[in-house]
Structure 1
Amino acid sequence: MAADLRRWLAEIGLEQLAGTFAANDIDLDVLPDLSDEDLKELGLTLGHRRRLLRAVGELPTRRPQQPAAAVAPNADTRREPERRQLTVLFCDLVGSTELSGRHDPEDLRDLLSRYHDAMTAVVERYGGYVANYLGDGVLAYFGWPRAEEDEAAQAVRAGLAAVAAAKELSLHVHVGIASGTVVVGDIEGAGRRQVGAIAGETPNLAARLEALAGPDQVVIGGLTRRLIGRAFILDDLGPQELKGIAEPVRAWQVLAERSVESRFDARAGRLTPFIGREHEVALLIDRFERAAAGEGQAVLLSGEAGIGKSRLVQRLHERLSSLPNPPTRIRMQCSPFHTTTLLHPVFRQLEYAAGFLPKDTSDTKLDKLEALLRQGVEEVAEGMALLAPLLSLPTSERYGAIELVAEQRKERVLRFLGDQLRGLALGNSILLVLEDAHWIDPATREFIEHLLPRIADAPILMMITYRPEFQLEWTRHPHVTALTLSRLSRGQGSEVVRAAGGAALSEDLVARIGQRAGGVPLFIEELTKSVLDSGSTFGDSEVPETLQASLLARLDRLGPDAKELAQIAAVIGREFGAALLRAITGKSVDAFAVELGKLVASEIVLSAGSVPDGYAFRHALIQDAAYQSLLLSRRRQYHGAVAEALESGFPEIAESQPELIAQHYTAAERPDRAIPFWLRAGERSRGRSAVLEAIGHFERGIEMARHLPEGAERSRQILALLLALGEARRLTSGQLVEALATCKEAAEIARAEGAPADLARAALAAHDAEIWIGRPPCESVELLEAALHELGDANSGDRACVLSALGRALFALGNVQRANALTAEAVAVARHCGDKGALYYALSHRNFAAVGNPCPASRFAERRRGLDEELALIEEIAGPQLIYGFVPFASYLEMGDYAGFAASLIRLREYSSKHQISTFDYGLASADAMCAILLGEFAEAERLADRALEIGEVQGDLATGVYGVQMFTIRREQGRLAEVAPLFRRFLDENPRDAAWRPGLAVIASDLGFEEAARKAFAEMAAAGFAFPADAKRSLTLSYLAEVCTCLGDALEAERLYDQLLPYRDNAILAPVATVCCGAASRYLGMLAGVMGEWAAAEEHFEAALDIDEQLNAWPWLAHTKHEFALALTARGRAGDQSRAEALFAAAAASAERIGMPALQQKIRSRRH
């Protein structure tokens, strides 16, 4: 009968009265005879009396025939184990052995029965659950099967009441109470069922605290102490050594409860009105007014979770919506599941703004997207071709396919999005909001960085919210304001409480809620709602523990089915689609609608418009509470179910967001299913030039693969991911060293697994990485040699590529003879196989290696044929091998063929633009600057060099070095060399491996008149035998030394330099990649011959130089050649030399004046006078 009474009371929401009725021997049969006065005598409140009497009047029809699922004691429904924070009470008799000696066994049995009944009544009176009787001890839970916001305080009250109840029986007890996270639920097995089984440290701690307590004492642990706050008078016992617990535990004895007001009626909670923040709102209004006037603004809004960032943004929107011409609001939401997903918040906003629906066809979505984009730009074809594939929409038939190769392709997407936004702002001002930027993906961060300077003159207010732990560096822009939200004052916090609870709340309770929430509006709002829902009071404790309990209580009140629905939704994420959630639960449409309706009605979730038929947890903390209540095993189960549902039932998500499925399979600890999706996600990101995102995906995949059991499959998966990771890292200058290490690891596995093709792939990527690192490719040579051996003698594209890469690497190491042989063999093998990709790779390496090396005029025709063939192949090949594609075409300039070089640039530019081959972007920009220098257009050259540096910054030292040499050349001809001397010195100091450029310092000293410094530097280099690498920079290095030697008049060293420079006599001086062309090498040979007194040779060289410089349109260098030739003729002094010298001087002076070469003008004036 007692069990029936408890079930019935639970059904009408008054199960807390069960202990009171049991202590007064009241059961269901007695209830109808009780009057209002009787209930008042029992201590029932007016509300409870009225509710109980009304239910008693309906008792015949209300009495349940089946146990209520919400009540754990004696309920037939099995409660699944779950994780939760609860408070455990352990109570044991004092002196039970003495009792058995003083009482007859039958009397003792009756005494113990009354003791157990009294303890049960006490526990149930305070909302606890008696889990077990352990001899003379009682184990009770507070917070299970249903959580209560003040469960810890209720447990302490029960402990004090247990002491009092035992005294009434002339007994004494010890009570220990501990709080913590446990796993609790019903267990079935071996033909029996254990209700409320518990696992964790908390019950053991409660038992040890009980042993510490003296007779009639209640002792509590640290977390319980924090949860109850100042609700009780305590005696601090200090740290205690407890058996079985490693570290000392601080304990407190509970002496008594403080007198506090304790009850009020529950009422539905609503979103509180906006309170406080007047200064912040005024600041935001001011920033909008500036933006609306055409001075775009950005506000970085920082604050801890729950501080009210989103609420402040909403308040601003409400204020602006009341204007005659309110702004257009664009909201982008970052996601913790998509921190490595390319432009996730941007694309989700586009889909939402375009009005995509699940039933829409691809054509319908394209129509909607095009209509949306046209609101900002008139010509959308290129934008559609760029964006549609990123949204998993086909474009080839309507807009044509665009091949995306490297990082610069992403720049085009960002530029178009920025153009569209600025175009949209022409029609109306814009409020652009990016929420939760602490979860921003790298591409979106880059987009914001790209956008910030562009909004400065547009009617756009950008607001970015983020948590303090996230660091931003965007405040360097003058139109950016940083705003940090502080916690609300006590008065403002009280206003929030009152707005949420109305007049029903007492002043004391309002103050305590505000204090507990610590001024965080979210915590204030949620604590108030929880108190109103439960109708209970609580102590003053720290926010995290009490908020967890209050949120879990709200979830428990949903009932088991709706709560499970909330838990599954929490696994999906903060936002979720109803269709996906129903697919996982397997519920019928009607049953699902009922349970989902409970979540909405309780405001656990709200309808969300960012996903079709979507919902979102009202607060992230509610989602966290639901998620954390799941057992780890159940979390894994649900994550796996989510992934399977997405994979099988939502192909568009599987296609567009493979990383989302990978995330869930990873959380499910199913590496075999997660790995393919991480690989797919990485390949998809790399294909869209989102290299950093790709690297993140591949790394996660490798992490999962290492959890696979040892064996061939594990090695195969790791190898595939390492190869993909290495190839992705080699495209990012900041990870070239890591790329090399990754490729070496992949190569080791490939060798062990006997996979020659994979070994070749690893070796090729390692070679590329090591070359771009800028150090001798010793490590990659070893890998390439191994790959060549494993591939065998059979002709194949892989073998051709390995041969060509090995040839280039050996050339860099000085083994020219074998390098040339391997390069020739590579070309032959590729031709034999008919593999155009391999042939291009081999030709590009061959031609690449030729750049900067001597080539006699007799071989010019052969060299042009190789360049022409490579250029023709480029139009058929598109892929990673194009990373070398631009470099060889500078060879046209080395052969004195400006027209050939200009024609190749035109073809490359057209092809790059047509096919979006962004690997050429930097080379083309650098070549533009080089050509401007060659033509003597120095101001334009400087502008173009700056542009090239901006594009090529991703290439690190390479781009910086090229820029440095270009600016050195420009400033030297402008007579401004002193400006770059410190920068040149710092560059050399910071890049010691680029010591080949040190002759430039000697040139600077020589040009600036520091003859002793120049002589010292020249002597040091001469003593080392002018030992500089035989690389592509060698001819430029020798040209610098020739100039210094001429200035110093050192005939002995001039002879040595002449011999080293002579092989270049038919060539122009060139520094790749498209850095500078300094005119004919013959000019420098003529200068050295003049120092040696070899006048006939000097004249021959200068005459050749005049022809080559004129063919190159190298007007500055032609002027220098005429000047140096004139000096040589003047020094020789033969008949007719002086008149020709004067003509050359005049021509050089005229060119210098026309082009703007003050340094040369000064030289001409000083030498002629």
Structure 2
Amino acid sequence: MQRIDLGAFDLAQVADLVETSGSPHDPVVLYERTGGLPFFVSSLLTAYELDTEHLPSSVAESVADRVRLLGPVAKELLTLGVVAGLLIPRSVLRAAASNVDDEMFAASLDELSRARLITQYDARNEVAIRHALVRDAVYYGMTDGSRAQNHSRVARAFEEYGLGHEPDGYARLAYHLSRGLDADRSRAVDYSIRAGSAAFAIGAYEDAVRLFQAAADRLTPRGDSTQRCRLLIDLGRAQRQARDPEFRPTLLEAARMSHRLGDIDLQIAATLANNMHGILYVQIFADHERIDSLYRALRTLESSGRIDSSATARVLAQLAVELMWAADHHVRRDLLLRAIEIARATGDAAALREVHLAVLVALRTPHMADLHHSSYLELVQILDASPGRTQEPLAALWMARTQIEVGELARARRTIGAVSPAHTSRDAELAWLVSSTRFGVELATGRLELCERDLVALTAIPVYPLETYSFGRMLAFVCGLRALRGDMREIVDAADDLSARFDVVSSYRPILALAYADIGNIEAAAQLLNWYDRPRVEAIEVDHAWPSAMGVLARAAASIGNTVVCKAVYDLLRPHADITVSAVSIVYGVTHHHLAHLSIALGEYERAQLHLDDALTAHRTRGYAGWYAESLYLAALLATKVAPSASKELIDEARRAAVDTGATAVTRRLDMLSSVDDR
């Protein structure tokens, strides 16, 4: 739809219109009275019955003059029409005027057409009010009682012809009934709820919020009721999808209300609807009110004898996710193991699928790798057994991230590719998460030039009400790419912001130290790493940031030769040697690679070679081409220590791999190694 602004007519144009129409009006008087406004001019050109010395002073007066000349049936049809809207199905208008016979109905419409108040579209079987100004003048000229009566008549006509039983129709009926006679207004709540549900189903979440809120405002009686509680749940779900932060208090109130009502099913529905969503998954955030609500739901299920139900499995799974940043991973593991056991016992396949997905979300530390992997494999079996089933977009994201970690890169690309623009077009959070996961796939495969281009687009992070530090969310992507391509100057430029958050995010200090080392400021890197001793390294909390924190701490310590940190980190990482080090969707190579680097720094060359052999095999097998080049660099570095004669050949091999992937940071390190070797 395109809006075209019509300017005012000048005197000559008004005179031409008067002459063409054959109107007796004086063009000068008409122009002075209307100011040349097109609709006002055209309205007065048809007023042959009026004395030219007494032209109406406004559009409203012009319309009122013409309405006064109408017969009673034409007036009735006009008032019904303006209540129904600017465009009215002829059959609805006919049904609303039920006391008029067909001949009088047709004649009265013709009368309105001659008065230029309506336009009849016979081909479409519709009647249009000629202009919004006509509609407003007639609508607001009615008494309140007459207006309400006509709204009720129009609503009944829409219902009679079945035009209210569709998404737009529900909203239309809610509108008319809410403005109708007192006896009809209570019915507006039901149609507002139906309209909200229809809007939600097609992704019109803002409209759904407006419609559910209107229903909640009109619903009587006030106070607690099953209907109001159910409506609050629907409203909260719509608010969450619309990224309205009010979803949280809405759903918390619904959970409290259902608890007061003693309605367990509604309490569970409200509690489960109030979950972490979208970008919240990648923030360090714990919502203790939501956590308390989940524990309250568990107590309710237990006291009602439903502790072994599939509802319990779902609540346990959601609780584990909510506790990502608020409880030890062993606590989350125990909750999820119990949830898996209950879901299997109940035979509820959907609940079991949700629980396994929660494992992928809530247990991302290497210490839980076995359970994480087994849940992934079972999810794959469940999905393969239902080939026609479409994955939920967020489920696809977590599956793709896991596939990146285990080296199933082609499968990860297919999984994330299944999230279509239809899913992301109305959800900025989801669109960003999909783009970031695609970035992770391409980075893992070694398409670094493509990642260089895509990194810029990732900086357009959707604003979220709980956002505190958006660059922190970008850090994994910047660090992951700059470990292989370019340099880490961008991270050094953010030193002040990162330093202020060292106590919040365990990976920030080692990332900044690595960045300083990368650009050659060894003194600054050493100063940051000297803060660590073995107790401090061992005290780094084992949460979802632990793998990346240890990976970058290993690289930084090995790069500058801090042996205290190297020994401590080696001992902590050694039990997880075969695991891929990752953060969100970003791969930092396999742990063997970092153990090799640490061993080189510690002078443990034979041990370093064993780790390198395993790292090269794992990187080749999992398709991590950029990190394969980086492991070849370590092999060349090791050769300069133990077999200098072989180092040139290894440097050349590593350089070829780096060039193939666009790993310019690896090439830079190889150049430095060559210069040292030549000396």
Give the TM-score range, shorter chain. Answer: 0.7 to 0.9
Q: How does 1:45-84 map to 2 (within 5 A)?
A: none
Find the aligned partners of 1:716 and 1:523 in 2 and give their Cα distance.
53
Structure-1 residue corresponding to 2:589? 1079
Task: Tell me whether 1:691 sits opposite 2:199 in the alignment.
Answer: no
Q: Is the 8 A contact 1:608 1:614 kept in 2?
A: yes
Find the aligned partners of 2:606 and 2:534 in 1 and give their Cα distance.
29
Q: Which amino acid aligns with 1:525?
A: S
Task: Tell me whether 1:834 sits opposite 2:347 in the alignment.
Answer: yes
Q: Is the 8 A contact 1:973 1:1160 kept in 2?
A: yes
Report the structure number with the largest CA radius of gyration.
Answer: 1
Pick aligned residue for 1:752 from 260, 284, 289: 260
Alpha-carbon deviation of 1:616? 0.8
Q: Which amino acid aligns with 1:605?
A: I
Q: How does 1:445-464 map to 2 (within 5 A)?
A: 464=2
Pick aligned residue for 1:622 from 120, 128, 134: 134
Bigger fraction of residues in helix:
2
Q: How does 1:741-820 map to 2 (within 5 A)?
A: 741-769=249-277, 771-772=280-281, 774=283, 775-792=285-302, 793-794=305-306, 795-820=308-333
Alpha-carbon deviation of 1:802? 0.7
Q: Is the 8 A contact 1:788 1:799 kept in 2?
A: yes
Alpha-carbon displacement from aligned partner over 1:1-36 (angstroms, at most 9, x marks no partner): xxxxxxxxxxxxxxxxxxxxxxxxxxxxxxxxxxxx
Alpha-carbon deviation of 1:907? 6.3
Q: Is the 8 A contact 1:570 1:627 kept in 2?
A: yes
Alpha-carbon deviation of 1:664? 1.4
Alpha-carbon deviation of 1:711? 5.7
Alpha-carbon deviation of 1:767? 2.0
Find the aligned partners of 2:328 and 2:509 in 1 and give their Cα distance.
25
Alpha-carbon deviation of 1:623? 1.1
Q: Is the 8 A contact 1:953 1:960 kept in 2?
A: no
Alpha-carbon deviation of 1:1159? 2.2
Q: Which amino acid aligns with 2:440?
A: M
Find the aligned partners of 1:797 and 1:644 in 2 and give their Cα distance.
44
Q: Which amino acid aligns with 2:301?
A: L
Pick aligned residue for 2:654 from 1148, 1156, 1159: 1148
CA separation of 1:925 and 1:602: change in aligned 2, threshold 3 A: same
Q: Is the 8 A contact 1:679 1:697 kept in 2?
A: yes
Pick aligned residue for 1:525 from 26, 42, 54: 42
Task: Tell me whether 1:675 sits opposite 2:189 in the alignment.
Answer: yes
Pick aligned residue for 1:664 from 160, 176, 192: 176
RMSD across aligned C-alpha pairs, in angstroms? 3.9
Secondary structure of the residue aligned to 1:799 is helix
Alpha-carbon deviation of 1:1028? 6.3
Structure-2 residue corresponding to 1:1048? 560
Alpha-carbon deviation of 1:874? 6.5
Structure-1 residue corresponding to 2:116? 603
Task: Tell me whether 1:573 sits opposite 2:85 in the alignment.
Answer: yes
Find the aligned partners of 1:602 and 1:914 in 2 and give their Cα distance.
50
Structure-2 residue corresponding to 1:471? none
Q: How does 1:891-1040 map to 2 (within 5 A)?
A: 891-894=402-405, 897-898=406-407, 900-903=408-411, 905-906=413-414, 926-942=436-452, 965-966=476-477, 968-975=479-486, 977-978=488-489, 996-997=507-508, 999-1018=510-529, 1025=536, 1030-1040=542-552
Structure-1 residue corresponding to 2:60? 548
CA separation of 1:704 and 1:860: change in aligned 2, threshold 3 A: closer
Bigger fraction of residues in strand:
1
Find the aligned partners of 1:1117 and 1:876 in 2 and give their Cα distance.
36
Q: Which amino acid aligns with 2:107?
A: V
CA separation of 1:976 and 1:917: change in aligned 2, threshold 3 A: closer
Structure-2 residue corresponding to 1:341? none
Find the aligned partners of 2:608 and 2:81 in 1 and give their Cα distance.
85
Bigger CA drift: 492-501 or 827-836?
Answer: 492-501
Task: Tell me whether 1:648 sits opposite 2:160 in the alignment.
Answer: yes
Q: Is the 8 A contact 1:996 1:1033 kept in 2?
A: yes
Alpha-carbon displacement from aligned partner over 1:119-163 (angstroms, at most 9, x marks no partner): xxxxxxxxxxxxxxxxxxxxxxxxxxxxxxxxxxxxxxxxxxxxx
Structure-2 residue corresponding to 1:1119? 629
Q: Which amino acid aligns with 1:717?
A: Q
Structure-2 residue corresponding to 1:558? 70
CA separation of 1:987 and 1:1025: change in aligned 2, threshold 3 A: closer
CA separation of 1:1028 and 1:690: change in aligned 2, threshold 3 A: farther
Q: Is the 8 A contact 2:255 2:271 kept in 1?
A: yes
Alpha-carbon deviation of 1:845? 0.3
Alpha-carbon displacement from aligned partner over 1:347-398 (angstroms, at most 9, x marks no partner): xxxxxxxxxxxxxxxxxxxxxxxxxxxxxxxxxxxxxxxxxxxxxxxxxxxx
Find the aligned partners of 1:744 and 1:820 in 2 and give their Cα distance.
26
Q: Is the 8 A contact 1:871 1:904 kept in 2?
A: no
CA separation of 1:613 and 1:1029: change in aligned 2, threshold 3 A: farther
Bigger CA drift: 865-874 or 1046-1055?
Answer: 865-874
Q: Which amino acid aligns with 1:551?
A: V
Pick aligned residue for 1:1161 from 657, 667, 670: 667
Q: Is the 8 A contact 1:855 1:1063 kept in 2?
A: no
CA separation of 1:759 and 1:993: change in aligned 2, threshold 3 A: farther
Alpha-carbon deviation of 1:465? 0.2
Structure-2 residue corresponding to 1:187? none
CA separation of 1:620 and 1:995: change in aligned 2, threshold 3 A: farther
Q: Which amino acid aligns with 1:754?
A: G
Alpha-carbon deviation of 1:562? 1.3
Secondary structure of the residue aligned to 1:1090 is helix
CA separation of 1:607 and 1:1091: change in aligned 2, threshold 3 A: same
Structure-2 residue corresponding to 1:537? 53
Task: Tell me whether 1:465 sits opposite 2:3 in the alignment.
Answer: yes
Task: Tell me whether 1:722 sits opposite 2:228 in the alignment.
Answer: no
Pick aligned residue for 1:594 from 96, 104, 107: 107
Find the aligned partners of 1:1083 and 1:686 in 2 and give their Cα distance.
49
Task: Tell me whether 1:582 sits opposite 2:94 in the alignment.
Answer: yes
Secondary structure of the residue aligned to 1:625 is helix
Alpha-carbon deviation of 1:905? 4.9
Q: Which amino acid aligns with 2:618?
A: I
Structure-2 residue corresponding to 1:1070? 582
Alpha-carbon displacement from aligned partner over 1:670-699 (angstroms, at most 9, x marks no partner): 453222222222222222223333233223
Q: Is the 8 A contact 2:360 2:376 kept in 1?
A: no
Alpha-carbon displacement from aligned partner over 1:569-622 (angstroms, at most 9, x marks no partner): 10000111211011111022122122222112211101237x831111111111
CA separation of 1:994 and 1:495: change in aligned 2, threshold 3 A: farther
Q: Is the 8 A contact 2:580 2:589 kept in 1?
A: yes
Pick aligned residue for 1:824 from 318, 330, 337: 337
Q: Is the 8 A contact 2:25 2:45 kept in 1?
A: no
Structure-1 residue corresponding to 2:395? 884
Q: How many residues align?
A: 661
Secondary structure of the residue aligned to 1:940 is helix
Secondary structure of the residue aligned to 2:3 is strand
Give TM-score, length-normalised by structure 2. Answer: 0.85
Q: Is the 8 A contact 2:83 2:151 kept in 1?
A: yes
Bigger CA drift: 1028-1037 or 985-994?
Answer: 985-994
Unaligned runs of 5+ in 2: none
Find the aligned partners of 2:13 and 2:358 in 1 and give their Cα distance.
71
Alpha-carbon displacement from aligned partner over 1:888-912 (angstroms, at most 9, x marks no partner): 4533443xx42x45346546756x6
Secondary structure of the residue aligned to 1:537 is helix
Alpha-carbon deviation of 1:1161? 1.9
CA separation of 1:1154 and 1:846: change in aligned 2, threshold 3 A: closer
Secondary structure of the residue aligned to 1:1077 is strand
CA separation of 1:980 and 1:1050: change in aligned 2, threshold 3 A: closer
Q: Is the 8 A contact 1:555 1:563 kept in 2?
A: yes
CA separation of 1:879 and 1:756: change in aligned 2, threshold 3 A: farther
